[in-house]
């Protein structure tokens, strides 16, 4: 092993840093100086091969260990993160006018979202840093994935949420033994208090945009997609966009695979925001890296981010891939939830369904053509958000226990 086969580089000023576990942002640029992990790709290329993967018995994201920024000897949380299924769904494809659509169901991760991939890496880095406590602010998936992975690794987690957080998300956090701090105030208040507490008590910081290692976990979803498609690169990969970390990670995965020679081109990224909160979509369409904060008017809570924390990486990833951004209405999101559920048997949370609503819109607008191959990522399980699912799903048939009555109703429907 060379002294170090990965290091950190500032996305703003280009300064290089040693990849110590608790290095978060650029010391020159401050909190805006988000760091990127870079690898010695020749080193990785010799250790991550198609043949080696074909015989690997590891069904989790850790099968890609040479492309992950951890000490290979570090203990990992005892949960199977990643290894989620990829389905080709022709009925869904037909419903939106495409020939070939694949669904990557990351809602089947241990805590039911893609965020488990980031938290698994975060917990490994926390232990490498010698921390026994790891903390973040969250309104949902990030927090519960941290809590679950920390529990499985024997670490204490602290999660800061605004006190309006739905009971369901609180329940998941508390069951995993997280110390949950419900802050009387906004999400921004919870975020700031988490940062103060992290500094005060020296906890490990799992706030996604600030910690460069987390995106490396997220990128494993792309490594899996490429391998599950037997290295046939799709034309498009669609993913919803909130603060920008996830789509940046999805892009990083494909660019890293290309750098290692495992694929010869990168799919175009389709970034999808909710029209009610679309600062990155508007910046993308305006051809700029300047974005304007927006209010958060969408039911897709996981991507309702008016002040995105990772705008640069997200916009750059989409542009570098030759991709596109679209925005969709809440009605389109609810419709996508229904069509995914009834044509594919996949239950997506609103933010996840947005990616597929975006594919349908991009098809209608001619951005995607009918014969292109598209993969959409379900970033979170709809079972976490029952209230919005009911909005999408409609009502059951209410009747007394009487066959005649049922016969009358079913007859009328025909």
Smallest distance from its own copies to CB 342, Å: 3
CA 339/CA 192 separation, integer angstroms:
39
CA 167/CA 177 separation, integer angstroms:
15
292: left (phi over 0), alpha (psi -120 to 50) or beta: beta
Choose between 112 and 239: whose C-beta lies nearer to its own copies: 112
Choose between 11 and 145: whose C-beta lies nearer to its own copies: 145
Choose between 15 and 174: whose C-beta lies nearer to its own copies: 174
Nearest partner of 71 among 124, 120, 110, judged by Cα: 124
Smallest distance from its own copies to CB 78, Å: 5
Smallest distance from its own copies to CB 383, Å: 5
Name the CA dihedral angle for 52, 58, 60, 63, rounded to a multiple of 10 degrees. Answer: -30
Q: Which two tokens stand for residue 283?
A: 């910046």
221 CB-near residues (< 8 Å, 6+ apart):
82, 84, 104, 106, 114, 117, 249, 250, 253, 377
Smallest distance from its own copies to CB 402, Å: 8
Choose between 13 and 383: whose C-beta lies nearer to its own copies: 383
DSSP string, 5-53: SEEEEETTT--EE---TT--B-TTTGGG-BEEEEE-HHHHHHH--HHHH
Smallest distance from its own copies to CB 50, Å: 14
Q: Which two tokens stand for residue 46?
A: 């010799």
Smallest distance from its own copies to CB 14, Å: 34
Choose between 45 and 338: whose C-beta lies nearer to its own copies: 338
410 CB-near residues (< 8 Å, 6+ apart):
none
Choose between 342 and 369: whose C-beta lies nearer to its own copies: 342
């Amino acid at each position: 092993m060379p002294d170090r086969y990965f290091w950190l580089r500032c996305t703003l000023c280009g300064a290089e840093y040693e990849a110590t576990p608790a290095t978060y942002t650029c010391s020159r640029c401050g909190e805006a100086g988000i760091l990127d992990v870079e690898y010695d790709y020749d080193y990785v290329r010799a250790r991550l091969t198609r043949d080696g993967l074909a015989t690997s018995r590891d069904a989790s994201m850790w099968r890609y260990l040479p492309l992950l920024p951890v000490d290979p000897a570090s203990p990992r949380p005892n949960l199977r993160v990643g290894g989620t299924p990829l389905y080709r769904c022709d009925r869904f494809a037909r419903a939106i006018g495409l020939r070939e659509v694949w669904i990557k169901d990351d809602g089947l991760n241990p805590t039911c979202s893609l965020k488990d991939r980031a938290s698994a890496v975060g917990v490994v880095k926390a232990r490498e840093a010698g921390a026994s406590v790891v903390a973040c602010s969250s309104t949902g998936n990030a927090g519960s994935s941290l809590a679950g992975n920390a529990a499985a690794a024997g670490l204490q987690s602290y999660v800061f949420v605004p006190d309006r957080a739905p009971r369901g998300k609180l329940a998941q956090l508390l069951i995993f033994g997280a110390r949950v701090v419900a802050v009387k105030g906004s999400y921004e208040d919870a975020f700031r208090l988490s940062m103060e507490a992290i500094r005060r008590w020296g906890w490990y910081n799992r706030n996604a945009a600030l910690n460069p290692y987390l995106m490396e976990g997220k990128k494993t979803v792309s490594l899996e997609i490429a391998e599950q498609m037997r290295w046939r690169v799709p034309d498009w990969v669609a993913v919803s966009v909130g603060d920008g970390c996830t789509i940046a990670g999805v892009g990083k995965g494909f660019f890293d695979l290309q750098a290692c020679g495992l694929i010869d081109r990168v799919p175009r990224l389709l970034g999808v925001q909710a029209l009610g909160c679309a600062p990155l979509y508007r910046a993308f369409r305006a051809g700029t890296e300047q974005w304007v904060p927006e209010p958060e008017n969408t039911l897709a809570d996981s991507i309702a981010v008016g002040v995105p924390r990772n705008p640069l990486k997200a916009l750059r990833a989409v542009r570098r891939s030759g991709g596109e951004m679209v925005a969709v209405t809440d009605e389109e999101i609810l419709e996508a939830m229904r069509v995914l559920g009834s044509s594919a048997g996949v239950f997506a949370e609103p933010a996840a369904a947005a990616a597929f609503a975006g594919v349908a819109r991009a098809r209608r607008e001619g951005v995607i053509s009918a014969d292109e191959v598209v993969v959409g990522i379900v970033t979170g399980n709809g079972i976490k958000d029952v209230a919005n699912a009911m909005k999408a799903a409609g009502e059951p048939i209410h009747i007394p226990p009487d066959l005649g009555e049922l016969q009358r109703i079913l007859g009328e429907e025909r």
